[in-house]
């Protein structure tokens, strides 16, 4: 039986393993392109360009900065790699903490233009 648990999953950004890792989210969506005509009875749509996003949270601070680029390699514990990007750019960084809790740093990575 396969182990589909999160524990054991890893992510690296710009060849640096990001740890201790708290969570990873990989999402992909697209703009809704309205292709309806004036004679149509209902609106119809096509899918626009893919809009991938990878977010992850680590415990503690990090030297990753907005604008940093590099490969994103996700290795889910079940051997999947959904969320990996050939070249990503950090577009968001948020550090938080609370009384008696750990410091958490969350990152948002989006596809970077080809070099």
- 56 burial level (CB within 10 Å; 0-12, 13-18, 19+): buried
The first and second tokens of residue 62, run together, are 């990090």
The first and second tokens of residue 52, run together, are 């991938």
Asked if residue 72 lies in contact with residue 42, where contact means CB atoms within 8 angstroms, the answer is no
pLDDT digits (tens, 9 = 90+) for 45-88: 999 999 999 999 999 999 999 999 999 999 999 877 788 999 99
C-alpha dist (Å) from residue 110 to 81, 85, 87, 105: 16, 8, 9, 17
pLDDT bracket for residue 4 (50, 70, 90): confident
pLDDT digits (tens, 9 = 90+) for 14-51: 999 999 999 999 999 999 999 999 999 999 999 999 99
Instruction: Please check the confidence at residue 1 and state whether its pLDDT lies above 50.
Output: no
pTM value is 0.85
Cross-sheet strand order for the sheet of 10-13: 16-17, 10-13, 69-75, 85-96, 104-111, 45-59, 21-34
Longest dimension (CA), the chain: 62
């Amino acid at each position: 039986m396969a182990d589909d648990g999160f524990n054991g999953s890893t992510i690296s950004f710009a060849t640096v393993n990001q740890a201790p890792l708290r969570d990873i989210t990989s999402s992909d969506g697209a703009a809704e392109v309205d292709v309806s005509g004036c004679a149509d009875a209902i609106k119809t749509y096509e899918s626009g360009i893919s809009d991938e996003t990878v977010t992850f949270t680590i415990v503690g601070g990090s030297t990753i900065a907005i604008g940093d680029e590099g490969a994103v390699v996700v290795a889910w514990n079940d051997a999947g790699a959904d969320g990996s990007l050939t070249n990503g750019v950090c577009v968001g960084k948020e550090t938080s903490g609370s009384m008696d809790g750990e410091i958490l740093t969350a990152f948002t990575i989006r596809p970077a233009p080809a070099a």
